[in-house]
């Protein structure tokens, strides 16, 4: 099995602040990146225990969240901003067999979701796909699903794990913190979070061999509604070929192919 790992920073144990930990110029950003990378490395150890030797890690956090110097030797890193076009990356991801997510947060508006947001916390109120509220977990799971990869593992706070479990029943999760609000959480100790991730990743791979999860797909056609905080953000879609303006702050993107709209 070949494993593709998507990463984010807000769902890592010990990460509770956008300004100081998640922004590139934050005082503790470098420290937060080391925490994420150590969680990714724990996942890699869980993979090695299951004899996985082809591992690609995406540096998925907006401004970059991976600490290259400390990356596990068994993993390769897909990184750099701006990222290469989706079509090019999808051709590479397609070669992998299963997907995982490390460090994920819940969708915008989830009351116990630490640092909850969808894509851009200063722009997006919410996304709805075919009428159902979705966040970044569904975006990842459905785009991986369209490429033939099931999402078999996710780590993050309890709210992110719950969101993943309702989306993809049977997924194995590792909750490394319990968020009490958007900016306050009870985190496991770093070493405890890492051993939980390592064990759950091994379990997910073992289970995938005996009781495989199927790639996640929803029936089309697809309508993605994006609601913004500001009208000018919706203005930006006025000439988009797949977009219709719903109201002053909302646009709807429509396609039979989920990959056309899920990150548009």
Residue nearest to Zn ion according to CB distances in the complex: 8
In the complex, least distance from residue 205 CB atom to Zn ion, rounded to whole angstroms: 24
Q: Among residues 143 and 208, whose Cβ is nearest to Zn ion?
A: 143
220, 225, 227, 226: which is closest to 258 by C-alpha? 220
Q: Among residues 136 and 163, whose Cβ is nearest to Zn ion?
A: 136
Q: Among residues 45 and 136, whose Cβ is nearest to Zn ion?
A: 136
Q: Among residues 116 and 208, whose Cβ is nearest to Zn ion?
A: 116
In the complex, least distance from residue 8 CB atom to Zn ion, rounded to whole angstroms: 4
**Sheet with 54-58, side-by-side order of all strands:** 75-78, 54-58, 2-7, 98-104, 151-157, 172-181, 184-187
Instruction: State both tokens at 82.
Output: 């701006």
In the complex, least distance from residue 7 CB atom to Zn ion, rounded to whole angstroms: 9
In the complex, least distance from residue 262 CB atom to Zn ion, rounded to whole angstroms: 14
Q: Among residues 59 and 136, whose Cβ is nearest to Zn ion?
A: 136
14-23 contacts at long range (C-beta below 8 A, 24 or more positions apart): 14/177, 14/187, 14/190, 14/193, 15/103, 15/114, 15/115, 16/114, 16/115, 16/183, 16/184, 16/185, 16/187, 17/183, 18/115, 18/121, 18/183, 22/61, 22/62, 22/63, 22/65, 22/115, 23/63
Residues that bind Zn ion (CB under 5 A): 8, 136
In the complex, least distance from residue 136 CB atom to Zn ion, rounded to whole angstroms: 5
């Amino acid at each position: 099995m070949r494993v593709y790992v998507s990463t984010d920073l807000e769902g890592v144990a010990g990460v509770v602040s956008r300004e100081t930990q998640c922004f590139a110029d934050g005082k503790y950003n470098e420290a937060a990146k080391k925490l994420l990378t150590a969680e990714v490395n724990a996942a890699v150890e869980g993979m090695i225990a299951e004899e996985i030797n082809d591992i690609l890690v995406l540096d998925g956090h907006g401004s970059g969240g991976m600490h290259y110097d400390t990356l596990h030797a068994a993993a390769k890193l897909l990184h750099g901003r701006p990222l290469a076009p989706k079509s090019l990356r999808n051709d590479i991801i397609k070669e992998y067999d299963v997907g995982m997510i490390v460090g994920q947060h819940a969708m915008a508006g989830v009351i116990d979701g630490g640092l909850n947001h969808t894509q851009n916390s200063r722009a997006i109120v919410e996304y709805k796909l075919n009428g159902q509220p979705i966040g970044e977990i569904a975006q990842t799971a459905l785009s991986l699903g369209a490429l033939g990869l099931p999402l078999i593992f996710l780590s993050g706070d309890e709210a992110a794990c719950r969101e993943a479990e309702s989306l993809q029943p049977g997924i194995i999760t590792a909750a490394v913190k319990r968020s009490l609000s958007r900016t306050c959480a009870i985190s496991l100790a770093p070493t405890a979070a890492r051993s939980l991730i390592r064990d759950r990743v091994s379990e997910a791979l073992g289970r995938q061999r005996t009781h495989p999860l199927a790639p996640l797909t929803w029936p089309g056609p697809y309508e993605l509604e994006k609601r913004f905080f500001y009208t000018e953000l919706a203005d930006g879609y006025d000439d988009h070929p797949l977009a219709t303006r719903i109201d002053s702050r909302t646009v709807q993107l429509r396609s039979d192919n989920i990959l056309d709209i899920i990150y548009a």
